[in-house]
Structure 1
Amino acid sequence: MRKVVLGTAVAFVAAGCAVAALIVRHRMRNSGRLARARAIVKEIEEKCETPIAKLQLVADDMMAEMHAGLADEGGSKLKMLITYVNNLPTGYEKGLFYALDLGGTNFRVIRVQLGGKEQGVVKQEAEEVSIPPHLMVGSSHELFDFIAMRVAEFIASESEEFKLPEGRQRELGFTFSFPVRQISLASGTLIKWTKGFSVEETVGEDVVAELNRAIERQGLDLHVTALVNDTVGTLAGGRYYDKDVHTSVILGTGTNAAYVERADAIPKWHGLLPKSGEMVINMEWGNFESSHLPLTEYDLSLDAESLNPGEQVFEKLISGMYLGEILRRVLLKLAKEASLFGDIVPPKLSIPFILRTPHMSSMHHDTSSDLRAVASKLKDILEITNTSLKTRKMVVELCDIIMKRSARLSAVAMVGILKKQGRDSKEKQRTVIAVDGGLFEHYALFRECLEGSLVEILGTEVASSVIITHANDGSGIGAALIAASNSQYWKGLFYALDLGGTNFRVIRVQLGGKERGVVKQEAEEVSIPPHLMVGSSHELFDFIAMRVAKFIASESEEFKLLEGRQRELGFTFSFPVRQISLASGTLIKWTKGFSIEETVNGTIGTLAGGRYYDKDVHASVILGTGTNAAYVERADAIPKWHGLLPKFGEMVINMEWGNFESSHLPLTEYDLSLDAESLNPGEQIFEKLISGMYLGEILRRVILKLAKEASLFGDIVPPKLSIPFILRTQHMSSMHHDTSSDLRAVASKLKSILEVVDIFCLASLFQITNTSFKTRKMVVELCDIIMKRGA
């Protein structure tokens, strides 16, 4: 018996030892994995380090590249585009001015009454107009006639509160958010269309001249006095409210900057020096390069696999488009080499761009004791479950490393501009940088790090004079403000025509000079008939001019044009233009569904709008039907400028970023078919993924496949589902925002947009009327998927 008991005891002891050994081996294995993971994290932390000494070298390189870009065309990775905006708003402008903001399938017409320093913007009105699809691919004549017609109607509807001084001509600022080669403040030739426009006859043509001719055909006493880019408009809008705004920066999905440069510091500028001695420059800083940038293996692989290897390197380090993807690449290495999430690598971790910067921000801002938001994001996005607290802490640490590098590099790039402007010294010079973009606006830790880094780099004394402010949208009113600040009348009634999509806006602004500012402002939005978007330039511009004429005809007695004066108009033309002068530019190409062969930018208007309110606004960015950016440069720092230096020494520069490509963009079969069937296959790929022009169409294509292959709506495929672009992004937004318990708005939209009625027997041939709740939920889910990728 004793032998049996003893044997049993020995067996238990042996088993216990075996279990203990397994536990020890498991702990040692986990310890080894953790050590390897810590080593990988430590390595990226060291590679991403941005000590002050290194940052100072980057700032010096930025300044050097700015000098090179201003010296000669192609002399630097920074384009340093001359915008011909050399007289930014001061806040003293008075009178009635107009703006036309054209940058996508809609355009806005705006009128603004400025009342000077005391009253500022007294009154502002705007009208948004949808551009009929056929006009986006028609003739320039039809497109601009449609726009001018709506501008005329907008002016005709003007109330008595808006007054143009007797004898004055209305003036309009044109925000044209398409690539343009600017020739002067009021002229620019279109380089190419984007955002679905394809009015080829306008490419290489002066878009301001096209618009002015259409306005004349409407019989309007209105003149386009400024062609601006939306980024520059943001700078101008900032300057209007604060005279110390000298730079504007976009930190969002993409990134760019614009600033005010001394005209005599732009070697490539060969014009007369402007009276102001200044020029707004659009930097296009996403393409900045420096041997001192802290690159890692993750950045190098991301760039190599992108659609534009070797280009936009700086943007790939700091912008919202890429931060989440960098984090994913690091986590994938940790999963493969350190088994961070267990023995199996989570399959979804191998999907490029599945982890977006908003996801990273959400995890980074998790303050719960158990980091439950981190666990939730890992589970929801990557299907990684049961993560340990140590693992979640490591993810947050990586978010911090990647965010800090981005924020500190963004800060030092701003310092580079300050150094170029001579605003980095201990001499007290109040300097305001207007910043816009989702990364800056919504990622609080990023914003705090950026601001703290500026203090660290500049020193407390200098940094105390540098103010970072969130920019107001100036793409519309910015053009009117530039028209006002460059008006031959200085005070009085001014107009703006904002053409950038299927709608355009006509705006009138009454300026009262230094004392009264914007006395009154009115705007009208006009939809461009589809046939004008693909017709002739004559018809398009005649339509626009007709609407401008009606807008002016409706003007109340409050808007007064001084006796003997001609109306002046700023033309916001949000299509690619090669600008020739402030009031002339040749269209490069149509986008946003326009195809007007005989005719071929809006961002600068945004800058102008900002500058009117804050003099220190120097840059701006647009995200709408299409997308783009601009900034203020010194005229004497633009080597490729061969004209006389402008009076005010400044020039506004425009970027054009809708044509961005990357091998890491999350493309689907629906994107590929949309692109292949578009008017510009292979072009504007990025814009087709994120802009308002295309989101609804992507949704339609997915729903069509569901109807065909999964009988989502029954045995018959709804006929209207086969009509391209019948489902607009506005419809998608309406369904996505439906919070009713039965999703009745979704049901209503599906019925009203996609039902078909026989006009002969007035009987319903097919109606999407009885969709199930599950079907409606699926539609909302698709809206969310498409929206999130776009965002």
Structure 2
Amino acid sequence: MVTAVAYRLAEQHRQIEETLAHFHLTKDMLLEVKKRMRAEMELGLRKQTHNNAVVKMLPSFVRSTPDGTENGDFLALDLGGTNFRVLLVKIRSGKKRTVEMHNKIYAIPVEIMQGTGEELFDHIVSCISDFLDYMGIKGPRMPLGFTFSFPCKQTSLDAEFDLDVVAVVNDTVGTMMTCAYEEPTCEVGLIVVDLFAQDSHRQDVWFPCFGFVCISHPHHLPFLSVLTLGTGSNACYMEEMKNVETVDGDQGQMCINMEWGAFGDNGCLDDIRTNYDRLVDEYSLNAGKQRYEKMISGMYLGEIVRNILIDFTKKGFLFRGQISEPLKTRGIFETKFLSQIESDRLALLQVRAILQQLGLNSTCDDSILVKTVCGVVSRRAAQLCGAGMAAVVDKIRENRGLDRLNVTVGVDGTLYKLHPHFSRIMHQTVKELSPKCNVSFLLSEDGSGKGAALITAVGVRLRTEASS
């Protein structure tokens, strides 16, 4: 009897190890991911292959990071899913550079969220008018930049006010610009979030400029027509213009918005995707799309864990084989649970308390296994993100023919900020895969609001320099 029990437990342990082994990535596997990301980047940059590339490598028309001479007052809009901010950002140059921000938050009523683009932007214009009155702003034309964190078809905002719409801003580029203002070596932006404001009733309304930054005169805005989706993870970096075949000119640099969440949509990551990844993808709102993002973004990590827990429970490895009703609900295992469970300071009793919120009556052994599952899923996410970043920094180094590159990555996102191990593992992976790059990471401060204003300020500076 004892032998039979021991054999059964040993067999369970073997099956668990075998299943979780699919999430373990060796250095060679990560180097292969880095190589594939680099190949997809090249396809996105080339004119001949751009249209069919999955990593779109969108030109942002941001040709410079801040140089410290930016000065003036700027308006910025930070548009989210259920509300948005209007900001007045005062940038002062000189020995003591300062950025002073004033903002007011406005709600977006449900009927407007579910309405047309015209109704949405009429509401935005009304709120801008209120904000200008609130701040007592009257007089000269004011430059404006705006950030979107959800898609919408509207492409122009300058018709009803005497505003100089200088920039349409993606939050990844905003993150890079915010950090570059503090650290001149910042030439890369990275976003890794827990949740993305994605309202199902807005699925059919996409903003062509989301993920796309335009430094131009307002009358150019209606010609932007690149269709991109909002992501839970993205990266951007400063590329040499000679390599950006989709834009005329070969002098200087331009920030490229990679839209790297779609890496793998052509099947190039299928050999490392698990059955759990396929389940998460199949039942998502955009099945078959954003496959890399679905392996690294906090929006999906909890759902991967939930599918593993259900499978292990069905096999009798967890919770005495009893699946609770809450655990059957998609999205119920929030990434914050994953972060909490992985905390080194969290005792097993506290892990059991978290599981109890999901109707799961767990033992200590259950809690240990759940913690292990969370660990392998988040570790793989951090490593994959690091492999992608390694491809980016190595490309910058090779572009410049350097034996060694010192570069800073501006980072934003709650997964990076709040998960107890994600940032450390990602940093370590970048170091191992790109040993010739000395990469520092700098947390962004309000890349959506402050970043929009800084991009606008740089655009105004470049425009002034060009006309003088």
**Equivalent residue letter for 2:105:** E
Q: What is the rounded CA distance, in whole Å, between the counterparts of 1:353 and 1:109 in structure 2?
A: 31
Q: What is the rounded CA distance, in whole Å, between the counterparts of 1:173 and 1:113 in structure 2?
A: 12
Q: What secondary structure, in the 3-state scheme, does the structure 1 residue paired with 2:63 have?
A: coil
**2:133: which partner in 1?**
153
Residue 396 of structure 1 and its aligned partner are, at CA, apart by 2.1
1:468 to 435, 441, 451: 441
**2:58: which partner in 1?**
81
The yes-or-no answer on 1:452 pairing with 2:446 is: no
2:169 to 210, 213, 228: 228
**2:145: which partner in 1?**
174
Q: Is 2:104–2:131's contact at 8 Å kept on the other side of the alignment? A: no
Residue 122 of structure 1 and its aligned partner are, at CA, apart by 5.4
The yes-or-no answer on 1:246 pairing with 2:187 is: yes
Q: Is 2:59–2:244's contact at 8 Å kept on the other side of the alignment? A: no
- TM-score, normalised on structure 1? 0.49
Q: What secondary structure, in the 3-state scheme, does the structure 2 residue paired with 1:223 have?
A: strand
Q: What is the rounded CA distance, in whole Å, between the counterparts of 1:336 and 1:145 in structure 2?
A: 54
The yes-or-no answer on 1:429 pairing with 2:400 is: no
Q: What is the rounded CA distance, in whole Å, between the counterparts of 2:110 and 2:333 in structure 1?
A: 35
Q: What is the rounded CA distance, in whole Å, between the counterparts of 1:117 and 1:130 in structure 2?
A: 37
Residue 304 of structure 1 and its aligned partner are, at CA, apart by 2.8
Q: What is the rounded CA distance, in whole Å, between the counterparts of 1:344 and 1:107 in structure 2?
A: 43
1:256 to 234, 241, 250: 234
Residue 130 of structure 1 and its aligned partner are, at CA, apart by 4.4
- Which structure 2 residues correspond to residues 35-74 of structure 1 after superposition, within 5 A? 35-72=10-47, 73-74=50-51
Q: What secondary structure, in the 3-state scheme, does the structure 1 residue paired with 2:426 have?
A: helix
Gaps of 5+ in 1: 1-24, 159-163, 180-191, 194-202, 217-221, 492-512, 514-645, 648-791
> 1:334-373 deviations in whole A, cap 9, x for unaligned?
22224433254545443333222221222222546x6222
Q: Is 1:56–1:457's contact at 8 Å kept on the other side of the alignment? A: yes
**2:75: which partner in 1?**
98
Q: Is 1:366–1:374's contact at 8 Å kept on the other side of the alignment? A: no
> Aligned pair in 2 of structure 1 residues 487, 61: CA closer, same or farther (>3 Å)?
same
The yes-or-no answer on 1:359 pairing with 2:337 is: yes
The yes-or-no answer on 1:214 pairing with 2:160 is: yes
2:387 to 390, 412, 417: 412
> Aligned pair in 2 of structure 1 residues 338, 383: CA closer, same or farther (>3 Å)?
closer
Residue 405 of structure 1 and its aligned partner are, at CA, apart by 0.8
> 1:77-127 deviations in whole A, cap 9, x for unaligned?
112222222232222322333333344554433333333252211543333
Q: What is the rounded CA distance, in whole Å, between the counterparts of 1:453 and 1:228 in structure 2?
A: 29
Residue 473 of structure 1 and its aligned partner are, at CA, apart by 0.9
Moved over 6 A (4+): 132-136, 423-426
Q: Is 1:257–1:284's contact at 8 Å kept on the other side of the alignment? A: yes
> Aligned pair in 2 of structure 1 residues 323, 288: CA closer, same or farther (>3 Å)?
same
> Aligned pair in 2 of structure 1 residues 483, 58: CA closer, same or farther (>3 Å)?
same
Residue 433 of structure 1 and its aligned partner are, at CA, apart by 0.8
Q: Percent identity?
A: 29
Q: What secondary structure, in the 3-state scheme, does the structure 2 residue paired with 1:240 have?
A: helix
> Aligned pair in 2 of structure 1 residues 396, 339: CA closer, same or farther (>3 Å)?
closer
**2:208: which partner in 1?**
none
**1:237: which partner in 2?**
178
> 1:638-662 deviations in whole A, cap 9, x for unaligned?
xxxxxxxx99xxxxxxxxxxxxxxx
Q: What is the rounded CA distance, in whole Å, between the counterparts of 1:145 and 1:396 in structure 2?
A: 48
Q: What secondary structure, in the 3-state scheme, does the structure 2 residue paired with 1:295 have?
A: coil
Q: What is the rounded CA distance, in whole Å, between the counterparts of 1:478 and 1:294 in structure 2?
A: 35
Q: What is the rounded CA distance, in whole Å, between the counterparts of 1:478 and 1:66 in structure 2?
A: 25
- TM-score, normalised on structure 2? 0.80
**1:520: which partner in 2?**
none
Q: What secondary structure, in the 3-state scheme, does the structure 2 residue paired with 1:381 have?
A: coil
**1:674: which partner in 2?**
none
Range with greater deviation from structure 2 (56-65 or 101-110): 101-110
Answer 1 or 2: which has greater strand percent.
Answer: 1
**1:329: which partner in 2?**
307
> Aligned pair in 2 of structure 1 residues 226, 317: CA closer, same or farther (>3 Å)?
closer
Q: What is the rounded CA distance, in whole Å, between the counterparts of 2:439 and 2:381 in structure 1?
A: 20
- Which structure 2 residues correspond to residues 178-217 of structure 1 after superposition, within 5 A? 193=152, 203=153, 206-207=155-156, 210-211=157-158, 213-216=159-162
**2:348: which partner in 1?**
371
**1:521: which partner in 2?**
none
**Equivalent residue letter for 1:247:** V
> Aligned pair in 2 of structure 1 residues 90, 33: CA closer, same or farther (>3 Å)?
farther
Q: What secondary structure, in the 3-state scheme, does the structure 1 residue paired with 2:331 have?
A: coil
**1:439: which partner in 2?**
415
Q: What is the rounded CA distance, in whole Å, between the counterparts of 2:460 and 2:403 in structure 1?
A: 34
**2:229: which partner in 1?**
none
> 1:137-161 deviations in whole A, cap 9, x for unaligned?
4756844652553354256348xxx
> Aligned pair in 2 of structure 1 residues 329, 37: CA closer, same or farther (>3 Å)?
farther
Q: What is the rounded CA distance, in whole Å, between the counterparts of 1:375 and 1:206 in structure 2?
A: 49
Q: Is 1:63–1:417's contact at 8 Å kept on the other side of the alignment? A: yes
1:297 to 264, 267, 275: 275
**Equivalent residue letter for 2:444:** A
Q: Is 1:41–1:398's contact at 8 Å kept on the other side of the alignment? A: no
**1:478: which partner in 2?**
451
Q: Is 1:173–1:228's contact at 8 Å kept on the other side of the alignment? A: no
- Which structure 2 residues correspond to residues 284-683 of structure 1 after superposition, within 5 A? 284-289=259-264, 290-291=268-269, 294-342=272-320, 344-367=322-345, 371-385=348-362, 387=363, 389-422=364-397, 427-459=403-435, 462=436, 465-487=438-460
Gaps of 5+ in 2: 195-231
Q: What is the rounded CA distance, in whole Å, between the counterparts of 1:381 and 1:307 in structure 2?
A: 24
The aligned length equals 421
Q: Is 2:70–2:461's contact at 8 Å kept on the other side of the alignment? A: no
Q: What is the rounded CA distance, in whole Å, between the counterparts of 1:366 and 1:301 in structure 2?
A: 30
Q: What is the rounded CA distance, in whole Å, between the counterparts of 1:261 and 1:489 in structure 2?
A: 18
Q: What is the rounded CA distance, in whole Å, between the counterparts of 2:455 and 2:440 in structure 1?
A: 23
Range with greater deviation from structure 2 (116-125 or 469-478): 116-125
